[in-house]
Structure 1
Amino acid sequence: MSTSRVFAARLVGCSVFDPNGDRVGKVRDVLVVYRSQGSPRVVGMVLEVPGKRRVFLSIGRITSIGSGQIITTGLINLRRFEQRRGEVRVMSELLGRSVRLRDGSGEANIEDVAIEETGLGEWEVTQAFLRRPRTTTFTKGATLFIAWSDIIEKTDTGETQSATQLVASYADMLPADLATAMLDLPEQRMLEVAYELSDDRLADVLEEMPENEQVDIMNQLADDRAADVLDQMQPDDAADLIAHLSDERGETLLDLMEPEEAEDVRFLLSYAPDTAGGLMTTEPIIVSADSTVAEGLALIRRHELAPALGAAICVTLPPYEPPTGRFLGMVHFQRMLRYPPNERLGTIVDSTLEPVHSGTSAAEVSRILASYNLVSVPVVDDNHRLVGVVTIDDVLDYLLPDDWRSSTNDAEEPAVFTNTSTASVTLRKPTRPGRRSPRGTRP
């Protein structure tokens, strides 16, 4: 090994390469087991490979650690990682634990641990980086670096770190990556992390999770907290989630939501899931025909706006909230860039783009987006009023299988691989519960 001692936290995110220099994944956690005597022994690492799959890499398969990268023998088992009894994940479970110092000088919390090579293919935890409790509200506690043998853990070896510490370690993750990380945690840990997340952060994460996990988390939240989280979600995602709750719980949460947010969700719940109305979002950018190019460009610059929604602006007659006045057309942002800032948007609408009716099948909407290379398509009702927009990500969520985040089916994967090219995915239509009226199985 090129390095005999390394801090576990610094390994997270490091790229892992095979002997040929091909990248096979990146480190997400370090796995240790406690022994009756001596320091915890490192048994391996949890890797994220293409497709967001988490797999186990035995420490014996690692030939080099150094310069921010890890080299393996090239043999990695593709079976999905499952934590065994007695194993402890350093980042997810160990960091943040409270310990006592053997010299009697008090207590401290583990902020990082150093693992060290003690023999060929043998690694163990040898030292800990600790932080003492803060002395005042505005100062951090003192830090110290100490041998593992000089600390006494206050908890049983199976007790996990505080969820607050774990959430802090996830602070820089994108919602999709955080959702994947949470799904890898034991169920109780996942719920503890969910409790600690802010409402808007949890809303973003839930939108990236499979429906079953969404429901499991939502069912564990108090009604007031659950309603606050739903308020922060995109209306179409909130509607999908409520559709999977019991009728009684769904109505309770809708009553507790902000009236405007609840109105949007109820509106979406009235459409069948396999139609444009069931796929659409009710929050596109909507302006009058007298709005200028400068005003339109200012609206799509908003940081919180999803890229697909910022690709075009809808022009309608008043009112300008769905269902609007008569739909006049859309103006794509590239088209706006070709005109002076004072140009009226009503004069440059795309006359070639036809809206779809709210009852149009999801399959037909998918065909339209693919045929005309669109990222969004407007949706109108019988009176040609704009009711929403279907974006490409809405269609992908519909087309991909329920377990698309897993990339491949466990039963179909090879036991061992040396090539990490992403496996192909066979699309199938998912089924959804029949709460919405009329609801049923997607074709």
Structure 2
Amino acid sequence: MSATNRFYAARLVGTTVFDPVREPVGRVRDVVVLPGARGARAVGFVVEVPGKKRVFLPVTRVTSISLGQVIMSGVLNVRRFEKRSAEQLVIGDLLDRVVTLVDGSGEATVEDVGLDQNRHGDWEIAKLHVRRRKRGGSLSKLVSGRGESLTVSPSEVTGLFGTQAEQSAALLLASYEDLNAADLGDIFQEIDAKRRVELAGELSDDRLADVLEELPEDTRVEVVTNLEASRAADVLEVMDPDDAADLVQELPEGVAQQLLGLMEPEEAEDVRRLMAYDEYTAGGMMTTEPLVVSPETPVAHCLAMISREELSPAHASTVHVCRSPLETPTGRMLGIVHFQHLLRERPDRPVGEIVDSDRHVVGPGAMLSEVTREMATYNLVSIPVCDDEGRLLGAVTVDDVLDHMLPEDWREQDEPTTVTGQIDLSEIARQMKTSDQKG
């Protein structure tokens, strides 16, 4: 993901943030971390944009961190940054904090925080640059000068994130951090409503969006309506547009319109466009954000796109080759390329030379039965949705189809009982969806 596998927060402050076309969009002012049972990981950056406004850049949007520059993907959300209750700002909260060295040698003041990137791509606090505090009164400190500086790991100090009481909410969340969204959704259904709202408040926007997609209708409506409106709009923005559209349609009309008004205009437009289609048609099931490239794009760039961790296997399976514009609705779609085909080609070859001409598409009005039959006939995990002019509108993936084929209350049902020699197809579908979500 980056040009380095470690950065120090204080040294990163002031670094210019560039968008994908290398235009400067702002400067880094802080790093947002979320403490957990096994340490703290970065969830994003506070970026100062023109006008001295500070906004949030999710770490998942950062593609490169190197000396003098941070490069992001996508578009920067210009809504003003607001820190969540469980989050900590490295510069604002952790620097100058007094910690106790566990070896019994006294106290020290935090002067910088180093974050390493682990094998999963997460940035975690790995090192603390601290300076020992001189013992004695203020006069002795003036005479003796500053204390010794040293670099330690977070496990070698206590007090970095405050008292046990201050960390209770974060520790509750940490106990669930290894669960996938489907299993965490099961826990949401088991706990009482008050606890559910508290836990939702501690989750990051991305994590909560994933969990909401796993909850039955009444539960997720309850969670969303108990969030602050601005937070609920943020969560809808990071959801897949098709899932966000489904959720908005379940909300009371007044709440739905309020949240759509608070969303970024482009994100809200995608949701409104999907809401115009019947739920059980290709248009109602599709995502409006499939992978789209121009025919001149090299194979290597396509492989980099599908390797992004946040993509589900179904979304990453296919690259759609289209004429400009490359945002849905695109220009005319030329064809698709499956990821296995990309792996067999030389990296510098233009993807337009290897498109699959024997393509299978459906229109936005195609009913669920037609979409299912087409995907089953040709063993597809996703299928493009095009209008009458051949423009790509979106794509329907196998998990979208499963969501609409299963009974509406399948998430609330107990584990199915099967008879020896018989196969429970609904359970197979459920396991397929869970496996797809796990990646």
Cα distance per residue 1:289-327 (max 9 Å; x no partner): 111111111111111112111101000110000000011
TM-align CA RMSD: 2.8
Q: 1:423 to 1:239 in 2, by over 3 A?
A: same
Counterpart check, 1:257 vs 2:263: yes
What corresponds to 1:178 in structure 2?
Answer: 184
More helix by share: 2
2:323 matched to which residue of 1? Answer: 317
Equivalent of residue 308 in structure 1, options 304, 310, 314: 314
Q: 1:424 to 1:406 in 2, by over 3 A?
A: farther
Partner residue in 2 for 1:138: 160
Unpaired segments ≥5 residues, structure 1: 1-134, 143-160, 429-443
Pairing 1:100-111 to 2, within 5 Å after superposition: none
Query: Is the 1:215–1:245 Cα contact (8 Å) retained in structure 2?
Result: yes
Q: Percent identity?
A: 50
TM-score with structure 1 setting the length: 0.57
Note the 1:239-388 alignment, pairs <5 A. Answer: 239-388=245-394
Q: Deviations for 1:199-244, whole angstroms, at most 9, x for unmatched residues?
A: 2211111011111111111111121111111112111111100001
Please tell me whether the aligned partners of residues 229 and 259 of structure 2 are also in contact (alpha carbons under 8 angstroms): yes
CA-to-partner distance for each residue in 1:153-200, whole Å, 9 max, x for gaps?
A: xxxxxxxx9544321211211111111111111222112211222222
Matched residues in 2 for 1:406 and 1:246: separation?
22
Asked if 1:394 is matched to 2:400, the reply is yes
Unaligned runs of 5+ in 2: 1-156, 430-439
**1:399–1:427 contact (8 Å) kept in structure 2:** no
What SS does the corresponding residue of 1:356 show, helix, strand or coil?
coil
SS in 2 for 1:387: strand
Pairing 1:59-78 to 2, within 5 Å after superposition: none
| Partner Cα distance (1:164, 1:341) in 2 | 44
Q: 1:194 to 1:348 in 2, by over 3 A?
A: same
Contact 2:214-2:411 within 8 A present in 1 as well: no
Distance 2:388 2:359 in 1: 18
Query: Is residue 173 of structure 2 the alignment partner of residue 167 of structure 1?
Result: yes
Contact 2:278 2:284 in 1 (8 A): yes
In the alignment, the residues of structure 2 paired with residue 283 and residue 177 of structure 1 have an alpha-carbon distance, to the nearest angstrom, of 26
State the number of aligned residues: 271
Corresponding residue for residue 426 of structure 2: 425
Asked whether the 8 Å contact 2:385–2:395 carries over to 1, the reply is: yes
Provide runs of 4+ in structure 1 moved above 3 Å: 139-142, 161-165, 406-409, 421-428
1:230-245 matches, within 5 Å, as: 230-245=236-251
Residues 425 and 287 (structure 1), Cα distance of their counterparts in 2 relative to 1, 3 Å cut:
closer
Tell me the distance in 2 between the aligned counterparts of 1:370 and 1:139: 52
* Paired amino acid for 1:195: G
Q: 1:136 deviation in Å? A: 7.8
Q: Does the 8 Å CA contact 2:298/2:349 hold for their aligned counterparts?
A: yes
- Which of 1 and 2 has greater Rg? 1
